């Protein structure tokens, strides 16, 4: 599945596999670097990392090569593009429009516009 994803969506593969491998490796390295004090002296910590099978080769390959300065670029979220903002606003307006349309179909609307029929006849007389 990862091979298919890499072939069809290389950018998505970079985020889901490579960048996560770097982040997971760094997190495990940080956890493993904290010494454990015990009565007999300081012992190296025992760390267990539960990761997906697709991340294991990347973590093993990058172990000891990931540094603190590699992490902030991974955590950066770019600002939304104009297109994504337009799509988000359009989706919200569509939902509001559907709700209003549904309410107009379900709820009874009273006839409080007697002048509207008079206006209609005036307009029809003008164009005849």
- Indicate if 17 and 65 belong to the same structural domain: yes
Q: Is the pLDDT of residue 13 over 90?
A: no
Q: Three-state SS for 37?
A: strand
Q: Which helix (H) or strand (E) holds 24?
A: helix 20-33
31 plus 71 within the same structural domain: yes
pLDDT tens per residue, range 24-73: 999 999 888 877 777 777 777 888 888 888 888 888 999 989 888 988 98
The pLDDT, as a whole number, for residue 44 is: 78
63/17 same-domain check: yes
Residue 97 domain boundaries: 82-126
Query: What DSSP string runs through 24-73?
Result: HHHHHHHHHHS-EEETTEEE---------TTTHHHHHHHTTT--GGGSHH
Residue bearing the bigger pLDDT, 7 or 64: 64
Q: Cβ(25)–Cβ(58) under 8 Å?
A: yes
Q: Please indicate, yes or no, whether residues 32 and 93 belong to a single structural domain of this protein.
A: no
Whether residue 101 sits in one domain with residue 59: no
Domain end (from 32, 60, 75)? 75
What does the DSSP 8-state code read for residue 100? H
């Amino acid at each position: 599945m990862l091979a298919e994803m890499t072939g069809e969506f290389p950018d998505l593969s970079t985020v889901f596999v490579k960048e996560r491998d770097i982040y997971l490796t760094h997190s495990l390295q940080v956890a493993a670097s904290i010494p454990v004090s015990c009565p007999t002296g300081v012992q190296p910590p025992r760390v267990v990392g539960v990761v997906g099978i697709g991340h294991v080769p990347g973590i093993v390959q990058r172990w000891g090569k990931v540094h603190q300065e590699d992490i902030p670029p991974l955590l950066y979220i770019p600002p939304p593009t104009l297109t994504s903002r337009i799509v988000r606003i359009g989706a919200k307006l569509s939902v509001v429009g559907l709700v209003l349309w549904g309410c107009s179909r379900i709820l009874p609307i009273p006839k409080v516009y007697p002048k509207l029929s008079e206006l209609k006849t005036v307009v029809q007389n003008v164009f005849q």
